[in-house]
Amino acid sequence: MDFSLGREEELFRESLRDFLSKRLSPIWESIDEEGKIPTELIRDFGSQGLFGIPIPEEYGGQGATFTMAAIAVEEIAYHDPSMATAVLTLLNNAWPYVLYLHANEEVKGEVLPKVAAGRGFFGIASTEPQGGSDVAAFKTSALREGDKYKVYGEKIYVSGIREAMEQLELGGWLLIARTGSMEERHKGLSALALIGNSNGVHIEGLKYSSLNTIGRHGISTGILTLEGAEVPRSHLVGGEGKGFYVAMEGFNVARPLVAAANIGAARWALEQAVQWSRNRVLFEKPIAAFQGVSFPLAEVSVEIEAASLLIYKAAWLADRIYVKKEPGLKPIDLAYYAAAAKMKAVETAFKAFEVAMKTLGGLSYIKETKLYRGLLGMMSYMVGAEGAHNIMKYIVARELIGKEYVK
């Protein structure tokens, strides 16, 4: 049992910290304030090899591991605790990997190299206005007509709307749509690689709009409205009727990276609080001398350490399943640890920001302190992104107790 990173991973983290401290740290607050990640920064991330990390080199990726992807996302969130650039990065690692696993060569060749180079975006479009947790109840329909599908419906809380449709050369999403009847529930769902924008040409029958979110303003969130948008049948991912399983596998791959983002932001928040506790003097001594201040900081530090171990265990397991392809392991084996990592990391990040703001007191309630930007960014994962918090508990309970007991 070895809890240390390998030499290659350490060098990757060191070089990444150097890059991010120069390129991202000075501008993350303006990204959140202005509500846009600069296109040139996205391309720089691609040039640094931060997208498509686990995707093989023949498709433009790095041919590396999920552990390295988790390192990248954690460090990006530390240098941009608003979470915007971390969200962009984790999406451009997880969902393109699903294409690598299940799409045909045509789709892989079209999408993966551009995403890896920072010239494309590929995310997930699953949630509908009536909800996101009950995937089997989705109503968006994909009607097969010859060699294409015509898609009708609406997807909401979709990340990367502006980036996909306006900023980059290529943009799309893994769209979950119903190709079977409602009575078939999850067995009637299919996954389609919806390419909304290709070199500035937008797919007909697709409308989009942005939502005014309370946090992580740099990355856009919005609504996709599909009014007969045509998707080639060759863009079917994983086979007809397999969309539910493809989506669940994608979420299991994404959640350790989501967890890493939350812990990166939590590390930053804790450091702000520790520094303040050393420098702020009351009653002729630093407030760190008071146990009411130092003990909560100690508790958060331990929680971050515990969450980090769980995150990297999940990433390590993903590497064993997908990279090393160890016999006896299946993608579903990742479900428990992926959900547990996200559950623990989100709870820990929320606690870290709460304690940090209490440590700074009234100072934390003004914009200049910046803590609120991180709090509002990580809250997106507390309330539902990549799976609601209670759904993570449900998955852990189901895997722990048994599917026959936890319905």
3-state class percentages of the chain: helix first, strand second, coil last, to nearest 5: 60, 15, 25
The span from the CA of 157 to the CA of 261, in Å, is 19
Enter the tokens of residue 283. Answer: 């009653």
Q: What angle do CA 388, 356, 20 make, to 5 degrees?
A: 80
Helix 105-116 crosses helix 84-102 at what angle (to 10 degrees)?
160
Which tens digits make up the pLDDT trace of 93-145?
Answer: 999 999 999 999 999 999 999 999 999 999 999 999 987 677 778 999 999 99
Q: In this predicted structure, what is the pLDDT of residue 69?
A: 98
Determine contact, residues 89/45, Cβ cutoff 8 Å.
yes
Give how far Cα 1 sits from Cα of 4, 5, 120, Å. 9, 12, 39
Q: Classify residue 203 by its DSSP letter.
A: P
Q: Which domains does the chain have, with CATH numbers?
A: 7-119 (1.10.540.10), 121-237 (2.40.110.10), 243-401 (1.20.140.10)
Q: Give every residue of the chain whose pLDDT is below 50, as ranges.
A: none
The span from the CA of 251 to the CA of 95, in Å, is 8
The span from the CA of 400 to the CA of 66, in Å, is 24
Determine contact, residues 202/172, Cβ cutoff 8 Å.
no
Enter the tokens of residue 399. Answer: 């895997």
Sequence-distant (6+) residues with CB within 8 A of 155 are 125, 126, 127, 128, 140, 173, 175, 223, 224, 226
What is the SS3 assignment for 344? Answer: helix
The span from the CA of 122 to the CA of 172, in Å, is 5
- CA 122 to centroid of chain Cα atoms: 12
